[in-house]
Structure 1
């Protein structure tokens, strides 16, 4: 049995012959034209046959190249189709959920097991990111987004509005309290959740104190976190008082790990939404997740 040439070289030939361009083939395979040309030349040396006629501004297949291209192209197409079938089998039981890291850690992860119990035939994959999900390129089927509800050309379900409120650990309150008015917080260690900075009107400590009629000389002092869950975790450890997100802190408040030293909330002016391309709703796994989270949110809003 004769020895086959390297697979990368055969792949380089197939792409080059299909495009009749080293540049286009190189773009497709994410290599430089020079590297691609080197692979093709290596294949020709291996076979002892010239596969392309190289002209000044173009290339053409030789007779040998024309004879072997159809079979090689068909082989790669069969490999592609076989892999696509495997992925389709996985897709039939998978739903990929995009959301922010804070929502994933503080809200979705502790509850997702209930979805899997209701739909044991579905596998759920959470893809947390601060970047807006690209449904076409990221493989995300459905996304939980935080914003004003303006998501053009998408199916959108409103889930829950979010608010901010002062929160600290019970230990911090015991050691530094009691706190009866907003003025009592003025000189305490403040924790800042900067995850709302994308919203110019987002409530900050400065806005919260002003709404209480309290003047603070340097309301930006203290610790700043770009992730909401990190800010909440700092408060859980007794580092200070966070102006925390009500939705994301609900579980910690439920179990008494975070408490509100002053019960005064401000709206973020934003809500969580279920968002996906309209065509995705036809996928049974997406439809199942949508049904589950809408029901889960109805129960959650009644107590949060």
Structure 2
């Protein structure tokens, strides 16, 4: 076996391709072309002398040597990232990458983020999105916000928001009456849903909400499914039906009048949103400030203290 290290660019391409098991996403993360990633991975395979991936119609799959090699390489890259953050870091970091799901980014974080930027005008603050169910990794960003992941091995975490579900619709579609909203009226409208109940354990479904409010027969209700909750909310704004959505994600639309709450009945969620970062970053000046700022913003959702 050679004593020399493989080319660093080839290792970076392999580590990124192994993390996503997709050449296109690996290329996007590295800021290069898909062809460049493929060439670097091929060069590494040639250098080592064995195949690291099997190419499939769905993307990439590890070979057995590839899986073992990736586990070792990814640990080494993570150690390099941690060492880089810790060694000689100035008192105030120059950049902050926030990793969140697309729905939380679009409907909660981005409409409010200017207020945090104003606190740190010299810090380059950016947002990176991930899939609905995705563990936080240091490579994703300096901090991560995830729903339902209270603890994750090797990470520091704090709950930032415990939310509830609201029944909402566009005012021109279904305006609640002064006497209150009758859930039986839902039989006349499409119910908008996303994949939360299918992929997150114990996340309430439409059936759970309706049965808990006395509407047991849901067999004839019309359902329209979307892949993400921000799509559900936008569909509701456009009058496509009635949505059951997290309060934190619809609050701006309620405040602007684009949506109305149809019922005073809220359904409390059993889990919440958590802020995660590496333990050595938990007391970083900017990250601690971001945590405190989030606490202030989420407190506004609960309204003024009586």
TM-score range, shorter chain: 0.5 to 0.7
Q: For residues 93 and 151 of structure 1, what CA distance do their matches in structure 2 show?
A: 26
Aligned twin of 2:290: 289
Once the 2 structures are TM-superposed, how far is the Cα of residue 126 of structure 1 from its aligned partner?
A: 0.5
Structure 1's 123 and 20: CA in aligned 2 closer, same or farther, altered over 3 A?
Answer: closer
Structure 1: state its 5+ residue gaps.
Answer: 1-15, 38-83
**1:216/1:188 CA distance change after superposition, 3 Å:** farther
Taking the TM superposition and a 5 Å limit, the aligned residue runs for 1:164-175 are: 164-174=165-175
Residues 1:105 and 2:99 aligned together: no
Aligned pairs for 1:169-184 (under 5 A) are 169-174=170-175, 180-184=181-185
Q: Match of 2:125?
A: 124
Moved over 6 A (4+): 24-28, 175-179
List per-residue Cα deviations over 1:219-270 (Å, max 9, x = no partner).
6632111211000000000001011111111111111111122222212211
Change in Cα spacing, 1:216 to 1:32, as seen in structure 2 (3 Å) is same
Q: How far 1:134 sits from its partner (Å)?
A: 4.4
The answer (yes or no) to whether the contact 2:207–2:218 under 8 Å persists in 1 is no
Partner of 1:172: helix, strand, or coil? coil
CA change 1:113–1:20 in 2 (3 A) is closer
Q: Which moved more, 1:176-185 or 1:211-220?
A: 176-185
Shift of the 120–279 alpha-carbon distance from structure 1 to 2, 3 Å rule, reads same
Task: Using the TM superposition, give the Cα deviation of residue 156 of structure 1 relative to its aligned residue in structure 2, in angstroms.
Answer: 1.8
Give the match for residue 4 of structure 2: 18
Equivalent positions of 1:44-123 (< 5 A) are 92-123=93-124
Deviations 1:141-193 (A, max 9, x none): 11111115233432222111121121100010159999731112123211113
Q: Determine the structure 2 residue equivalent to 1:210.
A: 211
1:206/1:219 contact within 8 Å kept: no
The structure with more radius of gyration = 1
What's the C-alpha RMSD, in Å, of the aligned pairs?
A: 3.5
Secondary structure in 1 matching 2:188: coil
Rounded Cα–Cα distance in structure 1 between residues aligned with 2:260 and 2:162: 20
Conservation of the 8 A alpha-carbon contact between 2:159 and 2:273: yes
Q: Aligned pair in 2 of structure 1 residues 177, 204: CA closer, same or farther (>3 Å)?
A: farther
Range 244-253 or range 144-153, more displaced: 144-153
Q: Distance in 2 between matches of 1:145 and 1:245?
A: 14
Indicate yes or no: 2:241 matched with 1:240.
Answer: yes
Does residue 261 (structure 1) correspond to residue 262 (structure 2)? The answer is yes
- Equivalent-residue separation in structure 1 for 2:255 and 2:302 (angstroms): 13
Contact 2:168 2:242 in 1 (8 A): yes
Please give the secondary structure, in 1, of the residue aligned with 2:214. coil
- Take 1:219 and 1:284, find their aligned partners in 2: how far apart are those partners? 54
In the alignment, which residue of structure 2 is the partner of 1:146? 147
Secondary structure of the corresponding residue to residue 121 of structure 1 = coil
| TM superposition score normalised by structure 1 | 0.67
Aligned in 2, Cα 1:150/1:136: closer, same or farther, shift over 3 Å?
A: closer
Q: Secondary structure at the match of 2:199?
A: coil
Tell me by how many angstroms 1:132 deviates.
2.4
TM (norm. structure 2) is 0.67
User: Following superposition of structure 1 onto structure 2, how do residues 179-198 of structure 1 map, counting pairs within 5 Å?
Assistant: 180-198=181-199
User: Which structure 2 residue ranges, 5 or more long, are not aligned?
Assistant: 16-39, 49-83
Match of 2:80 in 1: none
Paired with 2:163 and 2:112, the residues of 1 have a C-alpha distance of 18
